[in-house]
Structure 1
Amino acid sequence: MTETKALVLNHKQIKQKITRMAYEVYERNAFENEIIFAGITGMGFILAGFLAKCLKDISPLDVKVIEIHLDKADVNRGEVALSENTDLNNKCVLVVDDVLNTGKTLVYALKPFLDLPIKKMEVAVLVNRSHKLFPVTPDYTGLELATTLNEHITVDLTSENHSVHLH
């Protein structure tokens, strides 16, 4: 049995989504000095880098990218840690992931920030599948996509031709 993949977003569309999201981040945070992009391990971290670069290109804001290390396959048992010790005191943090499915990964990704005196926390995702089981709603979304629980979204930001597929 062959698995069929449907192209949801191509390279050009992904770039457009990232640019639009960066403008939205700038609009909502124009009076901030710095924004910390905290990308979740894997595609979330790569997406955070793209968003940060785009924001840097269109605004005077300082941006920094850090990684949230966690095991997406076993988020409730594994350790969740930040890639580096960064001063987050009174800073805006934007947690970034590629796909929001149930919200479980994003809830666990917030763990390292709970005891820190951050100013504001926002969430950005490239694709929101809206199968919400945890109280997480993205502030910035590239694409809202209604899917069944049996369907899967694959995001590839590592190859030359970025893509999002549904299978």
Structure 2
Amino acid sequence: MNAETVEKKLQRLALELVENNLGAESLILVGIEENGVVLAKNIRQRIQKNSRIPTELLTLRLNKKKPEAVTLSREMDFTGKVIVLIDDVTNSGQTLLYALKPFLDYHPARIQTLVLVERTHTLFPITPDYRGISLATTLQDHIYVEVDGDKVTGAYLA
């Protein structure tokens, strides 16, 4: 996907989020470092442009290879809140599964997941609610999502 295609995908994803969360008091967008944060910022801008739903942006940090410690940029009470976990690519589902950890002590109204690229090799029971594109790839393939500052410039299969 080139930058223009990514822009269209992000716009569509933001509109889907708004449409599926009409009536929500607010949305808490949680970007998973690194690229998930860039995506979350882009999605948030589009939501703010096309909707009156208030949004909050949090950053989630974890080691994707060994996700033992999961930290948020800010602690808050997530009870009754709509949370959207955002990452660039889903491979096995492990990152999104462990990203749920900080929210398990609360009773959120909903937890949704959004990825730019979904791969079909999940090992965990995680399927993104929102996806820019879904690809059937081999285990040897790798998806690169490129960012430049706060802009997503492309996503490529290698």
Q: TM-score range by the shorter chain?
A: over 0.9
Find the aligned partners of 2:148 and 2:98 in 1 and give their Cα distance: 24
Inter-CA distance 161–141: structure 2 relative to 1 (3 Å threshold): closer
User: What is the match of residue 82 of structure 1?
Assistant: 72
- Deviation, 1:155, is 0.3
- Deviation, 1:118, is 1.1
1:22-47 deviation per Cα after TM superposition (whole angstroms, max 9, x unaligned)? 11001110111100001111001111
- Deviation, 1:151, is 0.6
Asked whether the 8 Å contact 1:10–1:161 carries over to 2, the reply is: no
Q: Secondary structure of the equivalent of 1:53?
A: helix
Whether 1:165 aligns to 2:156 is yes
- 1:130-145 to structure 2, matched below 5 A, reads 130-145=120-135
Asked whether the 8 Å contact 2:145–2:152 carries over to 1, the reply is: no
Find the aligned partners of 1:42 and 1:56 in 2 and give their Cα distance: 22
Asked whether the 8 Å contact 2:77–2:106 carries over to 1, the reply is: no
Structure 1 unaligned residues grouped into runs of 5+: 1-8
Q: Secondary structure of the equivalent of 1:96?
A: strand
1:65-119 deviation per Cα after TM superposition (whole angstroms, max 9, x unaligned)? 10111011221xx310111013322110000000011101111111111111211
Asked whether the 8 Å contact 2:38–2:152 carries over to 1, the reply is: no
User: What is the match of residue 17 of structure 1?
Assistant: 9
User: What is the match of residue 28 of structure 1?
Assistant: 20
Whether 1:104 aligns to 2:97 is no
Aligned match for 2:58, one of 41, 56, 66: 66
Amino acid at match of 1:120: R
Asked whether the 8 Å contact 1:47–1:157 carries over to 2, the reply is: no
Question: How high is the sequence identity, in percent, across the aligned residues?
Answer: 37
Equivalences, count: 157
Find the aligned partners of 2:65 and 2:123 in 1 and give their Cα distance: 17
Q: Secondary structure of the equivalent of 2:65?
A: helix
Task: State the 4+ residue runs in structure 1 displaced beyond 3 angstroms.
Answer: none
- Deviation, 1:52, is 1.0
Output the aligned Cα RMSD: 1.2
